[in-house]
Amino acid sequence: MSTSISALKTGAELSPGAVWPPYSPPTAELDPQGLPILVKGEGVWLTSKDGHRYLDGVGALEAMAVGHGRKRLVDVAARQMQELAFLDVFRYSSEPVIELADKLISLTPPGMKKVHFTPGGSEAVETALKLAIQYHWVRGDTNRRKVITRYGAYHGVTFGAMNCDGRYYATRNDIYLGDTRFGVVADGPATGPGWGAGARYAAGAPEFAATIERVGPQNVAAVIVDACATASGVASAPPADLIALRELCDRHGILLIVDEIITGFCRTGEMFAHQLSGVTADFFTFSKALSSGYMPIGACVVRDRVVDEIAAAEAGPDRVFAHGHTYGGHPVACAVALENIKILEEENLAARAAEMGDRLRAGLRTLDTHDAFVDARGVGMLTGLELFASDDLAGRYGSAVAACGWLRRELRDIGLVTLTVHPGTVFLLAPPLIITGDEIDRIVEIFDEGLTRLEATR
């Protein structure tokens, strides 16, 4: 007998013990002792099965831009499902796919030519990596297979994207990749101007230049970066760094992949983070806020010179991009993404992200009365709160990372959802862009309360 909708809503007949959540041991338990089971989202608020309310301080893993519970997006999804729910994306197309591709080309810099859709962010990075290697292959540069990544970076969990891991603190790619890798880490700290306190968790253009020289530019296919160095301790890379990286790549015939999976769609106070520097990449990867998380979708936007080079290859396997996903270019996901972008533009959420982000960082800096406070940095509605300059203040927790793990859970119990990024002591805050000033202030209040509790227990 199938489980009824009413049973699903109440939690009856469910067996959460069968779920193995991401990044958890198989012993991880769902509600009530472990991960809360959420049943409702509205605006910036989430409600659990037991009635607990949480302020979504990380925007559903940085995806939620326009807010939970947007009926416009629900209606668009339902309408598209009724008209055309799915199709063979390898041999056919649909109007939402074509319209969304055109929209992304119009939003990105001149020279971007093609869009390849994927089910999510890791797969979008995978697409860029394969195309970068194929571009050099058809040019006869078959040795160009290395990809240089930032120290502390995280670009996904598929095998190619894992190669671009910058020794992110929570990954275990030594298990999965072994000694067979094409990714090379540009070690930090970043030494260029304008980085601020986050420099020690990232690498900048000078470090990439030294790494390329060591590896040999004739062996390097691409450089991949998140323009804001988000996973790398929310290092808040200065716009000049991306300009320098573009110049470095051009000098050596290397392709530039700018990963905008977290930073795209108004998060940084512009539609895209690369607009802060004016740089045109060879590939832009998008996901998350492309649909505000309402549907799984990713995209890789490809520059004309890559497209034209592969198109000019002799007829045969080298001319074919032998890659694709069953759910890449899903018509419902594309329809929702189009409507989501309309909301972002109509409500001018880029400007709101800039305004509310400044308010958040100003509020967090008042927490400097707590001895664990180190720095609050970021751009737009993308903020990193760094705590614990050393393990010395961790007390009975033993390490700064362990203390921050305890604090993250305590913040959740008080009513704030957040997470930590590299090196485990930087809290990432990326709430929905519709957040109000009062809700921003509530985030600061909850951190204040959480830090006070931490101090009393250590």
Per-residue DSSP letters for 53-65? EEEETTHHHHT-S
Q: How large is the average pLDDT for residues 63-67?
A: 98
Residue 16 pLDDT exceeds 80: no
Give yes or no for residue 95 having a pLDDT over 60: yes
pLDDT at 34: 63
Question: With 60 as the cut, is the pLDDT of residue 120 above it?
Answer: yes
Three-state DSSP state, 30: strand
Mean pLDDT of the 311-320 span: 91
Average of per-residue pLDDT across 87-105: 97
pLDDT band for position 29 (50/70/90)? low
For residue range 150-183, list pLDDT tens digits in order: 999 999 999 999 999 999 999 988 888 988 899 9
Q: How far is Cα 343 from Cα 356, in angstroms, rounded to an integer?
A: 18
Can you give the pLDDT at residue 363?
A: 98
- Domain residue limits, the chain: 36-66+349-457, 74-346
Residue 8 clears pLDDT 50, i.e. is over it: no
| 3-class SS of residue 146 | strand
Number of neighbours of residue 181 by Cβ within 10 angstroms: 15
At residue 328, does pLDDT exceed 60? yes
Going by the DSSP 8-state scheme, the letter that residue 165 receives in this structure is -
Q: pLDDT digit string (tens) for 206-256? A: 999 999 999 999 999 999 999 999 999 999 999 999 999 999 999 999 999
Cα-based distances in Å from 85 to 77, 88, 94: 9, 11, 10
What's the whole-number average pLDDT of the chain? Answer: 94
Q: What is the DSSP letter of 374?
A: E
Helix, strand and coil in the chain, % to nearest 5 = 45, 15, 40
> Is the pLDDT score of 66 beyond 60?
yes
Q: How far is CA 63 from CA 159, 225, 307, in A?
A: 22, 19, 29
What pLDDT does residue 349 have? 98
Instruction: Give the residue, 24 or 295, on which the prediction is more confident.
Output: 295
pLDDT at 260: 98
User: Is the pLDDT assigned to residue 32 strictly greater than 50?
Assistant: no
- Closest-CA residue to 457 (of 387, 402, 384): 402
Give the mean pLDDT of 425-431. Answer: 98
Taking 60 as the threshold, does the pLDDT of residue 89 lie above it? Answer: yes
Q: Does domain 36-66+349-457 have CATH number 3.90.1150.10?
A: yes
pLDDT at 11: 46
pLDDT of residue 22: 84
Q: What is the pLDDT of residue 13?
A: 54
The neighbour count for residue 366, using CB atoms within 10 Å, is 13
pLDDT band with cut points at 50, 70 and 90 for residue 315: confident
pTM across the whole model? 0.95
Q: Are strands 382-387 and 45-48 parallel, antiparallel or unpaired?
A: unpaired
Share of the chain above pLDDT 90, in %: 88
pLDDT > 60? residue 2: no
Question: May I ask the CATH architecture of the domain 74-346?
Answer: 3-Layer(aba) Sandwich (3.40)
